[in-house]
Structure 1
Amino acid sequence: MRVAVVGAGAIGAYVGAVLDRAGADVHLIARGPHLAAMRRHGVQVLSPRGDFTAHVHATDDPSAIGPVDYVFLGLKAHAYAACGPLVHPLLHADTAVVAAQNGIPWWYFHALKGPYEGRCVESVDPGGAVSRVLPPERAVGCVVYAATELEAPGVVRHLEGTRFSVGEPDSTVSARCLAFSEAMRAGGLKCPVEADLRNDIWIKLLGNIAFNPLSALSRATMAQICRHQDTRALVATMMRETLAVAEAVGCRPEISVERRLAGAERVGEHKTSTLQDLERGRPMELDVLLAAVVELAALTRTPVPKLCAIHAVTDLLAQTTYGSDAA
């Protein structure tokens, strides 16, 4: 199995190192000091489950790799539309693109039977720009439950979680999903193949859609948001509105709001990735987390007043922080 990781940051480099340990032929695409460190010393993984180093081929030139069986996307979703030069040299006729993204994916309505089948979600796939670069038929969805961070160039600290759920947009249990799952499990991770990955997407989104924008607006950690009575109530309302949208597009994830809140509070004094991006001057990844759900609410005529209000304020925050083209 040949695998290329496009965007070999904290999650991408971790997955690449694990697949290398499982015996896959792995190639990492990165840049800057991180790339230089991986070339010199390999990917150093620091984990409560045991430290290890993977000496994996790393490059900034995908044409030096050639076609692979799987492309694992470790990029933020807002970079997908422009990633063609990185991805296209890696593709053969049957290459699968495993997209490890948060929120609503560009392929959400691909092969989904019902009134919205094939519909483009403009917030995440404006004018079909992502679908032209990453055709939905190549997509394998991936919901990440692991937490990692780059402690230094070439050094990945695995904080918690080992689950990477994968699944096909058409809800089949495919050979390509099973083969990828087997390789991930051989490397020591949990990688269930879900017949309906959309349930996992909405369950994870319940936390992201509330805590990520609120943390950016308040600069608070997840525990602080949970301990504050009014923001805890706001999170619960946003979660309930999100579940209503999920049901309106035909998905009924089995998760209670209080259980989701309790799990978030246990995470503790953790800054969300959106708050970390804001503090580092990077674009906030809120289109797929919040704007897309507001769009689906409008499509299905589902009232989501709190989601709309928070979306309006975070959209203004993005514009005043990064300029009028940011979202």
Structure 2
Amino acid sequence: MKHWPKGAHMRIAIFGTGGAGGYFGAQLALAGEDVIFIARGDHLRAMKAAGLRLETPSGETHIRTQATDNPAETGNVDAVLVGVKAWQVAEAANAMRPLVGPDTVVVPLQNGVDAATELVAVFGSSTLGGMCGTLSFIAGPGHIRSVGGQNFIKFGELDNKLTERVERLRQCFARAKVSVEVPANIAKALWDKFLTVTSFGGVGSITRAPIGVTRAIPETRKLLEQCLQETLAVAKARNVPMADTAVADTMKIYDTLPANGTTSLQRDIVDGKMSELEYWNGAVVRLGREVAVPTPTNQFIYDCLLPSELRSRGKVNFPT
């Protein structure tokens, strides 16, 4: 395996320059890393013409960017941050092959717990486990807006070993002043977030209500707790070392969130867009079935949202 001088800059490809990829890629570029943004359409044309505009509560920054829709132009890089939606990962893996050499690390940033498995099938040991948190989105072509809150990234080897390549990438984000962590157990970290977003997102999506409402009404608060209990049972049956207090701990987190908080799942479903339903509540049901753990609340949420999801994908039409 290649050895790098301490503090050496990295060549990093952002595959999918949406809210997460755009935000973290911009921070890395501002810190002097060699960042290449893989994008398409109007977003790509705007970035080529005028760079990437990053808007945050503290102001705006314009970043001169390298941007392309053709990974073959870029060649092998040190790291790929995978910023596409969960349902796009398998297709993206094939498209990003020219970026990945023997010393490249591939870091998924998707919600859910399936992305690393899908990437391992293509890239093997080049794949890390990864996740992020950011309230950022595309506000317009070449324009990423971050509305504040905590922005963080976590990643690690799938076997939890501390390696030089993980430490090098951690230092890279630290130089960019991004909150970065290498968890002691990356699977637990992924499932902790999965537990949080699937219950919050699923209940919010069927009620069309923000967290301030669903946590305050006894009936919907109970739904949140039931979703959490089911997801925790699935995780434990799959030998993920979750805390016994995970449900109570997550409810405490919900009680601290801004009252108007919603998830990307809920926003996409309300807007009639394709969502990550299959990788959130749908995944709880599928992964539970594999280990014979019943998940009736998540099944109910999935079943209720499925017509909207199929409509967004052009698979069913609603009569008018």
Task: Give the TM-score normalised by structure 1.
Answer: 0.85
Q: Is the aligned partner of 1:43 residue 2:52?
A: yes
| More displaced stretch, 210-219 vs 180-189 | 210-219
Structure 2: how far apart are the matches of 1:276 and 1:136? 34
Structure 1: how far apart are the matches of 2:292 and 2:270? 35
Shift of 1:30: 0.9
Aligned residue-pair number:
304
The equivalent of 1:12 in structure 2 is: 21
Q: Is the aligned partner of 1:298 residue 2:286?
A: no
| Cα 1:320/1:149, change in 2 over 3 Å | closer
Structure 2: how far apart are the matches of 1:321 and 1:227? 31
Shift of 1:273: 0.5
Shift of 1:148: 1.1
| More displaced stretch, 158-167 vs 212-221 | 212-221
The equivalent of 1:283 in structure 2 is: 274
**Cα RMSD (Å) of the superposition?**
2.1
Which one of the candidate residues 210, 215, 221 is aligned to 2:199? 210
Query: Is contact 1:62–1:87 with CA below 8 Å preserved after alignment?
Result: yes
Q: Is the aligned partner of 1:34 residue 2:46?
A: no
| Cα 1:131/1:182, change in 2 over 3 Å | closer
Q: Is the aligned partner of 1:153 residue 2:153?
A: no
Structure 1: how far apart are the matches of 2:92 and 2:72? 14
| More displaced stretch, 189-198 vs 271-280 | 271-280
Q: How does 1:263-278 map to 2 (within 5 A)?
A: 263-265=253-255, 266-278=257-269
Structure 1: how far apart are the matches of 2:13 and 2:190? 24
Structure 2: how far apart are the matches of 1:242 and 1:259? 14
Which one of the candidate residues 291, 300, 303 is aligned to 1:312? 303
Shift of 1:324: 4.1
Q: Is the aligned partner of 1:89 residue 2:98?
A: yes
Q: Deviation digits for residues 152-175 of structure 1, max 9, x if unmatched?
A: 222222222122011111111122
Shift of 1:296: 2.2
Query: Is contact 1:168–1:177 with CA below 8 Å preserved after alignment?
Result: yes
Q: Deviation digits for residues 248-292 of structure 1, max 9, x if unmatched?
A: 111233354244234234232133201222234321102221222
Structure 1: how far apart are the matches of 2:233 and 2:315? 31
Task: Give the TM-score normalised by structure 2.
Answer: 0.87
Structure 2: how far apart are the matches of 1:141 and 1:198? 7
- Secondary structure of the residue aligned to 2:162 is coil
Q: How does 1:123-134 map to 2 (within 5 A)?
A: 131-132=120-121, 134=122
Query: Is contact 2:108–2:116 with CA below 8 Å preserved after alignment?
Result: no
Percent sequence identity is: 29
- Secondary structure of the residue aligned to 2:179 is coil
Structure 2: how far apart are the matches of 1:148 and 1:217? 23
Stretches of 4+ aligned residues off by more than 3 angstroms: 48-51
Q: Is the aligned partner of 1:253 residue 2:242?
A: yes
Query: Is contact 1:104–1:293 with CA below 8 Å preserved after alignment?
Result: no
Structure 1: how far apart are the matches of 2:241 and 2:58? 34
Q: Which runs of 5+ in 1 are unaligned?
A: 109-124
The equivalent of 1:23 in structure 2 is: 32
Q: Deviation digits for residues 204-232 of structure 1, max 9, x if unmatched?
A: 11221112222222222222222222111
Shift of 1:72: 0.7
Query: Is contact 1:173–1:195 with CA below 8 Å preserved after alignment?
Result: no
Q: How does 1:230-245 map to 2 (within 5 A)?
A: 230-245=219-234
Q: Is the aligned partner of 1:179 residue 2:168?
A: yes
The equivalent of 2:4 in structure 1 is: none
Structure 2: how far apart are the matches of 1:131 and 1:183? 23
Aligned-partner residue type, residue 47 of structure 2: M
Q: Is the aligned partner of 1:60 residue 2:50?
A: no
The equivalent of 1:115 in structure 2 is: none
Structure 2: how far apart are the matches of 1:240 and 1:273? 22
| Cα 1:280/1:62, change in 2 over 3 Å | farther
Shift of 1:323: 4.2
| Cα 1:178/1:61, change in 2 over 3 Å | same
Which one of the candidate residues 96, 118, 123 is aligned to 1:135? 123
Q: Is the aligned partner of 1:195 residue 2:204?
A: no
Structure 2: how far apart are the matches of 1:289 and 1:38? 32
Structure 2: how far apart are the matches of 1:267 and 1:141? 29
